[in-house]
Amino acid sequence: MRQRFVSAALAAGLAFLLAFLVSPIAYIFYYIYTQLAAVAPLLASPYYFDVSPAAFQNAFQIERAGSVYRLVLNGPDMGVIANSLWVGLTVALADTLLGLAIAFALAKYEFRGRTALGIVAAAPLIVVPFVTAYVIRIFLNPLWGTLNWAISSLGIPLRVEIRGLAAVALAQMFLYLPIAYLNIYTAVSRVDPTLEEVANNLGASGSRAARDIVLRLATPGIAAAFTLVFIMSIDDIAAPIIFQDYPEARKLMSYQIYQYFISSISGQISPATALLALILLAVSLAAFLAVRRYVGLSQYAMLVRQLRPRSYRPGPGGYALIALSFLVVIAAAAPLAGALVLVFADRWASSPLPSGLSPSLGLDRLETVLTNPYYVRGIENTVVYSLTATAAVVVMGILISVAAARFRGRAAGVLDALATAPIAIPGLVVAYSYFLALLPLSGWLAGCCPDIAHIINPLDNPATAIVIGYSVRKLPFAVRSMYAGLQQLHISTEEVSLNLGASYGRTLASVVLPLIRNNVISGALIAFVYMTSEVSLGVTLGSLKGLGYDHAMPITAVMSVDIQGSVNGLFYAAALGLILALIQIAAILLVTRVLKTRYGFIV
Amino acid sequence: MIAVVSVRTEKLTKRYGDIYAVRDVDLEVRDGEIFAVLGPSGCGKTTLLRLIAGLEEPSSGRIYFDGRDVTDLPTQKRNTAVVPQTWALWPHMTVFDNVAYGLKLRKLPRAEIGARVRRMLELVGLSGLERRRPYELSGGQQQRVALARALVVEPSLLLLDEPLANLDAKLRLELRGEVRRIAKELSITTIYVTHDQEEAFAVADRVAVMNAGSVRQVGSPEEIYRRPADVFVASFIGRARAVHGVVVDRSGAMVTVDVGFPINAEAVQDLAVGERAVVVVRQGSIHMVQDGGIACRVVDARFLGGTYHVDLDCGGVRLPAESDSAPRPGELVRVAIKGALAYRP
């Protein structure tokens, strides 16, 4: 009886993932194969790949302008494909090293302000898309930016101009630092403190034991953090959009795919974009498979309870690490603080700090976004998309986790791997593959079933693709959480119920699900929150229906349009961002305080 | 030759908030001695071991090695070697690297490290397994690696925290003999923490019994078994039952305690006629007799290999007895009690 149910759950899970993940992505391969003649020359174009000396000419400059030194950082312009790679690798490397420093300071040293450092370090987990990147742009503004204002206030004769791809990389570094830090902290905390104590007892100093034992055993977590940040960086479109005034910032694969969506309301399909999507996918999957050599990302996509690691009183080196951590963490949290302050500011475009702060201004803006039909439509879209997709995620999550935990055979492993894979697949690739596959499919169905054709047509009705995309992309969070619950539940708990005469369905409903209730709620809640702040699918597929009052954009896409439009749009985007932030804070409090699980991973 | 030390603790205390994990512990461990710390779970014995190792800082009190105050010395400088209950083998290192780690920290020449590791692996019976990873070894082998890793650095003091707790019963019996053999062969001062009385007695020269953070008695296994200092030690050591009653007679060191029927017991503490007392009766000290003794009814009898364990109801008092034959439940029998001990409640 149980085997029949588990087999059916396995079949349902595989069918869902094959239909909505594997097939659309496979279709990109097929499409490229049919367009080989058109796409092959693109790879030879220096616009896409250029490692000639000219690419590095303007990477950085130092010059003297009167009594002040001027440092200009652009980063090399190596063409769309190579730019994405170097920006992604730089961001991942920097965030991994900084995340390691912060994680070690927090996990290994006892000092005043440790709790505060932990909270501030995790604060940028609250995603306020576009607005935080915009605040970083203001910080970096060569003329009146906060950075140069601070440098000149200190009396240093230097002006720093961070532009183009370097600016995109720096912004992403700030935005993704908490992902690296939290994953590394989790990995470090998971190392049994006794292993370190024995090394200390045999004569190893605190730093030696940390290096020989903790760091080595945390390597899989560090590698996973690097890969996650890399994948998120090459998939990011918020920073390139914010810095799009610099032409080089547009020469990234993510921006090119996004730009194509904006101009594809006519329904044309571009072979070059398909090729970029394929390369983006290949690079992400390569990174994912490389890190799987150490560890499945799956174990990082879950909530964990943590052991208290062994900690020490810091020496001079320790204090230096703590000071660096405070500096980096405050810098990384500043954009979020700036984004929230923007809601209440009158102006912040050509000054180092916002001016004209007033609570009534903020309340007016919040009232506008909660009453203006254009914004209300965006909020409604987000709520409808996210709730529908969360319902799908819960149902599929239960079926897949039951099948993965209880099915005996290789298919369970395949299902588990497929359900985890969306972590490694850029949202832009999912969006593009849906567009590419659904457009001809709806055309093909138009003759026989016009209603179905209308529902799945991404130009008429992007909601369908967005909801499916949300549910596929955020499925890993629900599956990992529920799977973890099922693994902790001894199988005899189910067997006793079956032995007393209950069917497996009834056993699931009355024994298993109540016992893993917290895992189900946590998984659903986290999936829901990530959907509300999701960017890649929203700004691409969401924009296909245009900008009228019946638009299909979720909040994040509305924020993207607003921030690129009028000056006032920035403030309304910030107000929408505040609503998103409040939703996320409520969810984090629910997960950590009520459900007593840890908010340990985010995409 | 390893330079072993004697260990002395003076009013050693470790407090977590209002809870005392270790309280005013005064101990003396002689050099070259195997000293067991025995007590129930949560009694503070592991904390005591960690304090001596320098893995915890005491709230108050001092620790001396050979008369030298080491209380403020970090664990790295105490030249002790801990084997934790989980053994804590490093999973990313081979058996060789696990054992060699402490020697590498001491910057010994590579050839000497190799020779000492091989010698130690031979001593613990693991020659040939140098390249294995910990997870490729059996539980018993892992325990030996942990012991080799601790011993190879020639510590002045070996600290074993329930080192056999994760092994099955047969292997435990085998390895406790091994641990004693190796410690004696190297003449190393050893503190051995365990909750298992039989294990403590089999391994140690002397035993300290702990409860609720305090040391209740220190002595040789015979002293602890034959003359427990208080009711706790008497009840904890051996299968025993404590029965409350009133002293009705006294003659020298012997008292008669009325527990519903009279029991003659040796008064370990000073007891006067009319005073309340606790009589501790061990399972092995109650025997069935044909005549005289106390009339009891058999509640249950179970065969435990060699003898029968019999539960008796003696005028409302439940007592454990041993018998070579199997009495039937409900049967009336007569028993004699010898070697009972009387304490103040």
Condensed to tens digits (0 to 9), the pLDDT of residues B300-312 reads 999 888 788 889 9
Q: Which residue from A533, A535, A529 is spatially nearest to A590, judged by alpha carbons?
A: A529
Judging contacts by C-beta atoms under 8 Å, the chain B residues touching residue A202 are 81, 101-102, 105, 149-150, 153
Q: How far apart are CA A560 and CA A261, in angstroms?
A: 14
Integer angstrom CA distances of residue B205 from B5, B37, B44, B200, B214: 16, 11, 21, 9, 20
A603 has pLDDT over 70: no
Q: What is the DSSP letter of B54?
A: T
Query: Domain range spanning residue A197?
Result: 45-342
pLDDT tier at A309, thresholds 50, 70, 90: low
Q: Which of residues 269-308 of A touch B (CB under 8 A)?
A: none
Give me the percent of chain A exceeding a pLDDT of 70: 94
A476 by DSSP, 3-state: which? helix
Sole residue written with tokens 């397994």: B129
pLDDT tier at A302, thresholds 50, 70, 90: very low
Judging contacts by C-beta atoms under 8 Å, the chain A residues touching residue B105 are 202-204, 208
* Residue-wise pLDDT tens digits, A164-216: 999 999 999 999 998 898 889 888 888 888 899 999 999 998 889 989 998 88
Cβ separation of A205 and B81 shorter than 8 Å?
Answer: no
Sole residue written with tokens 């601070």: A150
- Please, how many CA atoms are within 13 Å of residue A499, restricted to the half-sphere of its CB? 6
A303 has pLDDT over 50: no
* Residue-wise pLDDT tens digits, A111-157: 999 989 988 888 888 888 899 999 999 999 888 888 999 998 999 99
| Average pLDDT score over residue span A320-334 | 93
Q: Tell me how close the Cα of B46 comes to any Cα of chain A, in angstroms.
A: 13
pLDDT tier at B284, thresholds 50, 70, 90: confident
Mutate one of B82, B94, B98, B143 to test the A interface: name it (highest A CB count within 10 A). B82
User: In B181-239, at which residue ranges do the beta strands (DSSP E only) sit?
Assistant: 189-194, 206-211, 214-219
Sorted by sequence, the CB contacts under 8 Å of residue A157 that are 6+ apart come out as A67, A68, A69
* Residue-wise pLDDT tens digits, A385-417: 999 999 999 999 999 999 998 888 889 888 988
Q: Tell me how close the Cα of A173 comes to any Cα of chain B, in angstroms.
A: 31
Sole residue written with tokens 């108050």: B60
- Please, how many CA atoms are within 13 Å of residue B276, restricted to the half-sphere of its CB? 4
Query: What's the pTM value of the predicted model, to 2 decimals?
Result: 0.83
Q: What is the pLDDT of residue B248?
A: 94
pLDDT tier at A265, thresholds 50, 70, 90: low
* Residue-wise pLDDT tens digits, B41-83: 999 999 999 999 999 999 999 999 999 999 999 999 999 999 9
B242 with B234: CB under 8 angstroms? yes
Q: How far apart are CA A592 and CA A597, in angstroms?
A: 5
Written as six digits, the tokens of B258 are: 């009325």
pLDDT tier at A421, thresholds 50, 70, 90: confident
Lowest-confidence region among A78-87, A147-156, B283-292, B307-316: B283-292
Q: Which of residues 210-229 of A touch B (CB under 8 A)?
A: 212-213, 216-217
A307 has pLDDT over 50: no
Cβ separation of B76 and A201 shorter than 8 Å?
Answer: yes
A441 has pLDDT over 70: yes
Q: How far apart are CA B224 and CA B26, in angstroms?
A: 17
Q: What is the pLDDT of residue A498?
A: 87
Cβ separation of A202 and B101 shorter than 8 Å?
Answer: yes
Cβ separation of B86 and A212 shorter than 8 Å?
Answer: no
Judging contacts by C-beta atoms under 8 Å, the chain A residues touching residue B76 are 200-201, 203-205
Lowest-confidence region among A55-59, A563-567, B334-338: A563-567
Indicate the burial class of A304 (C-beta count within 10 angstroms; 0-12, 13-18, 19 or more): middle
Q: What is the pLDDT of residue B2?
A: 59
Q: What is the pLDDT of residue A266?
A: 58
Of B82, B90, B106, the CB nearest to A201: B82
Sheet holding B60-65, edge to edge: B19-29, B7-16, B60-65, B68-69
Indicate the burial class of A511 (C-beta count within 10 angstroms; 0-12, 13-18, 19 or more): middle
Look at residue A262 and tell me if it is in a domain. Answer: yes
Sheet holding A158-162, edge to edge: A60-65, A68-73, A158-162
Domain boundaries, chain B: 7-229, 239-343
Of B90, B150, B153, the CB nearest to A195: B90
Nearest-by-CA chain A residue for B92? A217
Q: What is the 3-state secondary structure (H, E, C) of A15-72?
A: HHHHHHHHHHHHHHHHHHHHCHHHHHHHHHCCCCCCCCHHHHCCCEEEEEECCEEEEE
Q: What is the pLDDT of residue A269?
A: 67
Sole residue written with tokens 């909750």: B195
Give me the percent of chain A exceeding a pLDDT of 90: 49
Cβ separation of B82 and A197 shorter than 8 Å?
Answer: yes
Q: How many CB atoms lie within 10 A of CB A379?
A: 18
Q: Tell me how close the Cα of B194 comes to any Cα of chain A, in angstroms.
A: 18
Q: Which residue from A61, A64, A72, A69 is spatially nearest to A157, judged by alpha carbons?
A: A69
Look at residue A450 and tell me if it is in a domain. Answer: no
Q: Which residue from A202, A218, A152 is spatially nearest to B148, judged by alpha carbons?
A: A202
B176 with B202: CB under 8 angstroms? yes
* Residue-wise pLDDT tens digits, B12-28: 999 999 999 999 999 99
Please give the interface size between A and B, counted as residue pairs whose CB atoms are below 8 Å apart. Answer: 53
pLDDT tier at A255, thresholds 50, 70, 90: very high
Q: What is the pLDDT of residue A296?
A: 45
B160 contacts chain A (CB < 8 A): no
Cβ separation of B153 and A203 shorter than 8 Å?
Answer: yes
Q: Which of residues 175-194 of A touch B (CB under 8 A)?
A: 192, 194
* Residue-wise pLDDT tens digits, B103-138: 999 999 999 999 999 999 998 889 999 999 998 999
Sorted by sequence, the CB contacts under 8 Å of residue A174 that are 6+ apart come out as A124, A132, A136, A331, A332, A334, A335
User: Got the DSSP string for A267-336?
Assistant: ----HHHHHHHHHHHHHHHHHHHHHHTT--GGGGSS---------B---HHHHHHHHHHHHHHHHHHHHH
Look at residue A460 and tell me if it is in a domain. Answer: no
| Average pLDDT score over residue span A326-348 | 91
A47 with A80: CB under 8 angstroms? yes
Sorted by sequence, the CB contacts under 8 Å of residue A383 that are 6+ apart come out as none
B54 contacts chain A (CB < 8 A): yes
Q: What is the pLDDT of residue A207?
A: 85
Look at residue A7 and tell me if it is in a domain. Answer: no
Q: What is the CATH number of the domain that holds A201?
A: 1.10.3720.10
Cβ separation of A203 and B55 shorter than 8 Å?
Answer: no
Mean of per-residue pLDDT scores for chain B: 91
Of A201, A204, A205, the CB nearest to B53: A201
Cβ separation of B81 and A199 shorter than 8 Å?
Answer: no
Sorted by sequence, the CB contacts under 8 Å of residue A141 that are 6+ apart come out as A148, A350
pLDDT tier at A301, thresholds 50, 70, 90: very low
Judging contacts by C-beta atoms under 8 Å, the chain A residues touching residue B92 are 216-217
* Residue-wise pLDDT tens digits, A466-524: 999 999 999 998 898 898 889 888 888 888 888 888 888 899 999 999 999 888 998 89
A169 with A232: CB under 8 angstroms? no
Integer angstrom CA distances of residue A437 from A14, A27, A406, A420: 19, 7, 34, 22
A300 has pLDDT over 60: no
Cβ separation of A197 and B75 shorter than 8 Å?
Answer: yes
Judging contacts by C-beta atoms under 8 Å, the chain B residues touching residue A201 are 53-55, 75-76, 80-82
Cβ separation of A199 and B101 shorter than 8 Å?
Answer: yes
Q: How far apart are CA B190 and CA A376, in angstroms?
A: 74
Mean of per-residue pLDDT scores for chain A: 87
A341-355, A479-493, B207-221 — most confident range: B207-221
Cβ separation of A202 and B102 shorter than 8 Å?
Answer: yes
Mutate one of A192, A202, A222, A294 to test the B interface: name it (highest B CB count within 10 A). A202
pLDDT tier at A298, thresholds 50, 70, 90: very low
| Average pLDDT score over residue span A304-328 | 78
* Residue-wise pLDDT tens digits, B248-275: 999 988 999 999 888 999 998 889 999 9
* Residue-wise pLDDT tens digits, A218-237: 888 898 899 989 999 999 99
* Residue-wise pLDDT tens digits, B219-249: 999 999 888 999 899 888 877 888 999 999 9
A465 by DSSP, 3-state: which? helix
Q: How far apart are CA B235 and CA B343, in angstroms?
A: 11
Give pairs for A315-324: CB < 8 Å, separation 24+: A317/A207, A318/A105, A318/A108, A318/A109, A319/A111, A321/A101, A321/A104, A321/A105, A321/A109, A322/A105, A322/A109, A322/A111, A322/A117, A324/A101, A324/A105
Q: How far apart are CA B13 and CA B60, in angstroms?
A: 5
Q: How far apart are CA A351 and CA A139, in angstroms?
A: 9
Q: Tell me how close the Cα of B127 comes to any Cα of chain A, in angstroms.
A: 22
A463 with A385: CB under 8 angstroms? yes
pLDDT tier at B289, thresholds 50, 70, 90: confident
- The number of domains in chain A is 1
Cβ separation of B82 and A195 shorter than 8 Å?
Answer: no
Q: How far apart are CA A177 and CA A121, in angstroms?
A: 8
| Average pLDDT score over residue span B288-304 | 88
Look at residue A567 and tell me if it is in a domain. Answer: no
Q: What are phi and psi of B157, to 5 degrees?
A: -150, 125
Distance of CA A400 to the CA centre of its chain: 23
Q: What are phi and psi of B269, to 5 degrees?
A: -110, 160
Q: What is the DSSP letter of A202?
A: T
A204 contacts chain B (CB < 8 A): yes
Q: What is the pLDDT of residue A597?
A: 64
Nearest-by-CA chain A residue for B106? A203
Look at residue A284 and tell me if it is in a domain. Answer: yes
B151 with B158: CB under 8 angstroms? yes
CATH code given to domain B7-229: 3.40.50.300
Written as six digits, the tokens of B148 are: 């080799």
Look at residue A585 and tell me if it is in a domain. Answer: no
**At residue A524, what is the residue type?**
A
Look at residue A331 and tell me if it is in a domain. Answer: yes
